[in-house]
Structure 1
């Protein structure tokens, strides 16, 4: 165990603790004041030493194997490692974007399955790191309980989604009605069973480590399951709320890499030595422009702007609606200096394009901090990537570390500035109520509309 000593005291040559110097007196007895830079250097050295001693307790993880296809290795064998990695990343990026477009074409249900698959893979990569780091302890039930908790949390979140968006379908199935009515109690009972199994699996001499792993699992669930659930919630608001944020993060990742690769000279942050200010700034402007254009293109189509709803009569998801004002062209007056440049007083825009600027700004300025957080995590455990699933890119989590942060922001943004009462969702909830409750709501609503003058009072004979 590391022992943190009192600030200002440090071991002397013989192991004794030397007293701290008096105010205005240097450590060597001189009466000259230390410069600020010297103090900062001393603090960095002291805590750097603590970090190095703490890191020595972490077992080395064997480097991941190179999964680059042999055909690419042969084709790029004559290039330097820098350009070879550039081409591998580029080719795999174009491949992933093409597959993403294909899944978009296949519909919202396939996008939901994609999100679920990515969530499971990200969970697996983070849990595997914990298992590899502490593999020598051979903890009982660690991986089994981790996957069990994943199933429990998914059951809770997706059960809530089924209750909210598929009420008309659930109403026809008596067994599903029971599961939905007692959904939260069942979810809690399942989690409680896992909690009891964890307590029973505690082994003497490994208590602390097992509680580390218990916390590791729950933090991983918080990062992956809850965030992926928010992604699906955003998707139900309309595919455009799913595509524009995700594509903005992808655009920022690509353009920041390109600007940094060709023009990068100034390091941005120590956690990611390859990140540069040139890439960060270039990625910002590119992402805002891209988001503005993508919002304009997607706002034209009902397929992207209409909320995703389940229609029980056709037994499928549909995206048909009358677009709201958010996705209808509006005229905006330009500021005077832009009127002189563009030689026109007004411009026609979709209101969503203005919101896209906020989304793109977050994706390019705050979103990268999700990547920095992941970089710090990987440095803490002496690994280069979360996995080697995608050649040149690392694991799935390496590509989606910023996406989860973005999903939370979009969900908060929608609930704060966009979403109003959803009539279809309210109707679905009303249909589940008992006939007496529905009748009471009908009478209350009718009285309210008569008082507002929308309905004429019924004449009594």
Structure 2
């Protein structure tokens, strides 16, 4: 527990530092973090005997994140679109590279290479976009997202431990309960209301709506990541965060919630 607390403290400090250091540091930090998650994903599937194209996948992951991120910095929309079109060339290399490999399951390798991009890079690109959802860079949105996500995780853990009786989805996550799920959503909503007192970009009910989305969809993301690990017969996605497991374990709720919360906020603000 002590190791978990110390790791969590420094992890939160680093995350908050990325928000306060300005848009460039924010973009670079989350690009690197998304690539570390992608690398962790590829390491896990390679351990299961699937020969993903790791280097090509990482290059494409960096390209996807950079193309999306640069669109917020460039005033020239045509140039931004050209950067995105370059991805057609780089992504095709995943198929072409497989032609020169001796593998009995080439499309399994190709499929998991693309799945890594969809599972990690795309969600982190949406999360990064939260900082620019209202036009100019504003760290309040991604910061609030993580606060509500962590509040949901903490609320679900405590509620499930104290009150948990009814299994939520035992086949994929035996410890999760409905009591924990509702407790997490309530605590996340409370965090959303408190955030509304300081971050005035949204009304209180809009922040709470975002918290409810994070609580519901984030839990689904957690279950999907559990399903992924169970399919590979592993307990933790890694050991990069002592006491917390791997990066995918830490950001599993973000993977599904970030795109949906971004979409919600985009329509609310625009």
1:216 paired to 2:116 = no
Counterpart of 1:207 (choices 89, 104, 111) is: 104
Matches within 5 A, 1:193-272: 193-201=93-101, 203=102, 206-208=103-105, 210-236=106-132, 237=134, 238-270=138-170, 271-272=172-173
CA offset at residue 219 of structure 1? 1.1
* Alpha-carbon spacing, 1:182–1:87, altered in 2? closer, same or farther (3 Å): closer
What RMSD, in angstroms, separates the aligned Cα atoms of the two structures? 2.5
Pairs aligned (count): 265
The residue matched to 1:273 in structure 2 has which SS? Answer: strand
CA offset at residue 239 of structure 1? 2.2
CA contact (8 A) 2:148 2:191 kept: yes
For 1:158 and 1:108, how far apart are their aligned partners in 2? 10
1:291 paired to 2:188 = no
1:167 paired to 2:75 = yes
Alignment TM-score, normalising by the size of structure 1? 0.53
- 1:274 is aligned to 175
- 2:269 is aligned to 418
Q: Rg: which structure is higher? A: 1
**5+ unaligned residues in a row in structure 2: which ranges?**
none
- 2:43 is aligned to 128
Alignment TM-score, normalising by the size of structure 2? 0.87
For 1:385 and 1:262, how far apart are their aligned partners in 2? 24
CA contact (8 A) 1:244 1:295 kept: no
- 1:397 is aligned to 248
Query: For each residue in 1:135-163, what CA deviation from the matched residue of structure 2 results, as whole angstroms up to 9, or x when unmatched?
Result: 7xxx5x8333333433443454345x1xx
- 1:441 is aligned to none
For 1:394 and 1:407, how far apart are their aligned partners in 2? 21
For 2:196 and 2:224, how far apart are their aligned partners in 1? 29
For 2:194 and 2:206, how far apart are their aligned partners in 1? 12
The residue matched to 1:109 in structure 2 has which SS? Answer: helix
For 2:237 and 2:3, how far apart are their aligned partners in 1? 18
CA contact (8 A) 2:31 2:62 kept: no
**5+ unaligned residues in a row in structure 1: which ranges?**
1-85, 171-176, 300-326, 328-350, 420-461
For 1:155 and 1:198, how far apart are their aligned partners in 2? 25
For 2:143 and 2:173, how far apart are their aligned partners in 1? 27
* Alpha-carbon spacing, 1:181–1:294, altered in 2? closer, same or farther (3 Å): closer
For 1:198 and 1:250, how far apart are their aligned partners in 2? 40
Counterpart of 1:368 (choices 198, 202, 219) is: 219
For 1:181 and 1:123, how far apart are their aligned partners in 2? 24
The residue matched to 1:112 in structure 2 has which SS? Answer: helix
The residue matched to 1:409 in structure 2 has which SS? Answer: helix
Comparing both chains, which one has the higher relative contact order based on Cα–Cα distances under 8 Å and sequence gaps of 6 or more? 2
CA offset at residue 292 of structure 1? 0.7
- 2:205 is aligned to 354
